[in-house]
Amino acid sequence: MLIQKWMASTCQLLPRSLAVPVQSKTRTTFTMPGAGQLQYLDRPGGHKISYRKTEGLKSPGVIFLPGFMSNMNGGKALAVERYCQHHGHSYVRFDYQGCGESIGDPELAAGTGAFDVWKMDAQAVLDQLTSGPQILVGSSMGGAIMLLLAIENPTRVQALLGVSTAVTFDKPLTYTEDNVSTQAPTTNEYVTPKDFWDKKYQRCLMSDSIPVTQPVCLIHGMQDDTISYMTSVDLSKRLQSKHVDVVLRKEGQHRMSKREDLALLVQCLGNLLSLSNSKL
């Protein structure tokens, strides 16, 4: 296990209900030149999740998993898209049900488990929108989903890149991207529902030995006041993988969306892509 500090000056688990989570805040949509057009993937109950896919000739592909109540148009998702476009890798970014541009009932019935729904959305993206090996990039809550997909899909998931990875949800989580909506509330804090995720996931991710064997890079800001950077350090010790790097950015916060944060993100992604290609 390698722990680094980045000090840049400019720098199969069983499904539950398919109910739809709470609608996220409305945000401005950014479309990059060359980005895949907005499309929708059908989900049970007549719901749809929105996504944009960039085609690429190089393997592995890359999938971005947003954080809690976030969407596919944030700074990290777009930075990864730019990198994949430039280097010729396929890439998918998407919105969970009830978030971003996805279509569905915004109400979440009590006891339905939003995390379960979003995890199954991510599995559907992996199964239906991609082929071959993939690198998963998970932000905050997306990091937990990333880990579970790696456990359940060991032949498809080539490597993992976590940003401010969350593995517990016992306190309010913040949006993982800057809010750009003029209609949004004044606070970015949202209380995670008591029934947000099933105990089967909690047991899996809090166990002393987590059966993730793929290469993993965990990036975390040491100024993160939502998820302590020690979460990534502790997680690295419990992963079964022999190739785990923890990269700590001294001035980094939870969102890790400043220019120097994004530079670190794509640098680490490039390292994982090089490592994956050397093994193909």
Counting other chains too, the contacts that 76-82 makes at CB distance below 8 Å and 24 or more residues apart are: 76/137, 76/139, 76/163, 76/176, 76/177, 76/256, 76/257, 76/262, 76/265, 78/30, 78/32, 79/262, 79/265, 79/266, 80/137, 80/265, 80/266, 80/269, 81/32, 81/35, 81/52, 81/54, 82/32, 82/266
At residue 209, the pLDDT reads: 93
Specify the pLDDT at position 217: 98
What pLDDT, on the 0 to 100 scale, is given for residue 143?
95
Confidence at residue 54, expressed as pLDDT on a 0 to 100 scale: 96
Residue ranges in the chain modelled with pLDDT below 50: 6-31, 108-111, 178-191, 193
- Kindly list the catalytic residues: 140, 224, 254
What b/e sequence results for 212-245 when a residue is b if at least 16 CB atoms lie within 10 Å of its CB, and e otherwise?
bebbbbbbbbbebebbebebbeebbeebebeebb
> Which residues are CB-neighbours of 265 under 8 A, at least 6 positions away?
76, 79, 80, 137, 161, 163, 219, 256
pLDDT of residue 105: 61
In the prediction, which pLDDT does 36 show? 80
Q: Are 141 and 173 in contact (CB under 8 A)?
A: yes
